[in-house]
Each structure stands twice: as structure tokens, then as C-alpha cells.
Amino acid sequence: MRTIRQPGKPARPRVLSVAASSGGELRIVVPEGTDLLNGLARALTGAGVASAAVFLNGGRFARMQYLTGQPCRDGKRVATYGAPTTLVGPVTLLSGNAFLGIDEMGKSIVHCHAVVVDRDGAVHGGHLPPGVCTVGPGGVVALAAALADAALAVRYDAETNYPIFHPMALGAAHKVAA
């Protein structure tokens, strides 16, 4: 297995995890005309949820963009995003995974990757940025597992030189370093 040298020193522990109890299960339909990531964040925070694990169960986009990773040439990071690919609908969302958490300013943020098929049958996929993925007819269905006593919080990671979601225990939750 090839490993890669990151710009910063390896941080420890190598695996971070917290045990949380369920904050309930939610089924969300993000409606046509709404931006997917912003719509998901609004729906979940409106339901009192600050952090959640989300499964995208499918739907349609009227228009969307995605990013894919590539080697970073300037040495500041090992990988970065390339230019966005824009798909004009109807684009079918096959599946996706996402997390709702909190950024460094305390604002809700969604990190989402998904796989889609375009109007010509080609399969695409990547990182979905906020503000550029407009839901199409029929909406997008998301199944969210809310977290009651744990959170995903963005923290700057010196090892990779990226702001990254980290699991955080809230209240009595027990933090475990593997």
C-alpha cells in the first residue's frame, strides 16, 4: 500500500472517534428549485439538529456541479480540487453520503459526495459544493441520523493543511482515541 507524505507532521491519534446516542431519524425531501446542500442544512437545523449522518437516497437535479480531486502541484497539500464539472439536467442522483456539522464560525455546513447519471447516461461523481446543485422535479430524498450528544466540528488540520470535520463529544459522551 502506497502512503503519501503530508505537508504537516503526522498527528496522533490516527483514528478519532466518539460514541453518540441517536438524536432521532429524519426523512427529508429537498424540493425542486432548492439548492441541495443549503436545503439540507436548513431542514436539519430547522428540526433542531446540529450534526447528522446523511444518506442521499436519490432524486433529481435540474443543474449541478461537482469537483474531483487531483494531485496538488504547489506542495502546500497533497491533493486539491480541479475545475468544477457542470451538468445540466435532468441529472439523476443515484446515491450519496453527507454529514451536517458546524464550521469554525459556528455556522452549519454540509460535506457531501455523490454519484449521478447525466441525461445521456454517463455516470459521474464527486464533491458537491454548496450553492450550485439545484434540485429538480420530484426532489431529493435524504435519510438523516441525528446525533444527540456528539458533533462534527470543522477544525484546521495542520497535517493536511485543510479545515476538516472532527468528531467531538458533547456533555457526557465518551471520547475514545483508537
Within 8 A by CB and 6+ apart from 163, the residues are 103, 104, 154, 155, 156, 157
Q: Least Å distance between CB 66 and another protein?
A: 8
Q: Tell me how far, at minimum, the Cβ of 174 lies from another protein, in Å.
A: 9
Say how many CA atoms lie within 13 Å of 175 toward its Cβ: 13
Contact set with another protein (CB under 8 A): 1-4, 6, 10-11, 14-22, 51, 53-55, 66, 68-72, 77-80, 82, 85, 95-99, 111-115, 118-127, 145, 147, 150, 152, 157, 159-160, 162, 164-167, 176-178
Q: Which is nearer to another protein, 32 or 84 (CB)?
A: 84
Q: Minimum distance from CB of 133 to another protein (Å)?
A: 14
> In the complex with another protein, which residue's Cβ is closer, 20 or 41?
20
Cell of 111: 460535506
Looking at the Cβ atoms of 4 and 105, the one nearer to another protein is 4
- Helical (H) or strand (E) element with 46: helix 36-46
Measured from the CB atom, the residue of 135 and 151 that comes closer to another protein is 151
Q: Is the dihedral of CA 35, 36, 37, 40 positive or negative?
A: positive
Angle subtended at Cα 102 by Cα 19 and Cα 34, rounded to the nearest 5 degrees: 115
CA dihedral 81, 10, 12, 2 (to 10 degrees): 70
Q: For residue 45, give the 3-state DSSP assignment.
A: helix
CB of 37 to another protein, least distance (A): 12
Q: How far is the CB of 145 from another protein (least distance, A)?
A: 5
Nearer to another protein, 32 or 170 (CB): 170
Q: Which is nearer to another protein, 25 or 131 (CB)?
A: 25
Closest CB 107 distance from another protein, rounded Å: 18
Closest CA to 152 of 100, 107, 85, 112: 100
